[in-house]
Amino acid sequence: MAKRSPGTPRDRGIDGRVVPVADFRATAFAVIREVHDTGKPVTVTSHGRPLVVVMPAEPEEEPVGCGCMVGTCELLVSEDMAFSPPSTSRGTPGS
């Protein structure tokens, strides 16, 4: 297993608050909420060395416009029948 590179989170271009792992264990939900609300990462350390960085998730892009529903349904009739104009006959079936 390769040894992790030493250095502080700031050395690696990560700004934000630093929390010892013992404090993170006790306040994990509050730290996660802080990251979500502020958008700023929090680095969790053990003996002064960074273990993990809790960062806000990137929002997923919502599909928009034509094609956003592609693959979400299944046609039970042929495409010709599904996309052709309705017939003008309004009688009951079999009449």
Digit-coded pLDDT (tens) for 37-76: 999 999 999 999 999 999 998 877 766 666 666 777 777 8
pTM assigned to the model: 0.52
Dihedral sign for Cα atoms in the order 63, 65, 70, 74? positive
Which sequence spans correspond to the domains of the chain? 10-54
For 67, the 3-state DSSP assignment is coil
pLDDT in tens, 3-31: 555 555 555 546 789 999 999 999 999 99
Write out the CATH class of domain 10-54.
alpha beta
- H-helix segments, 1-95: 21-38, 79-83
Contact at 8 Å (CB) between 54 and 35?
yes
Task: Quote the distance between the C-alpha of residue 21 and its chain's center.
Answer: 25
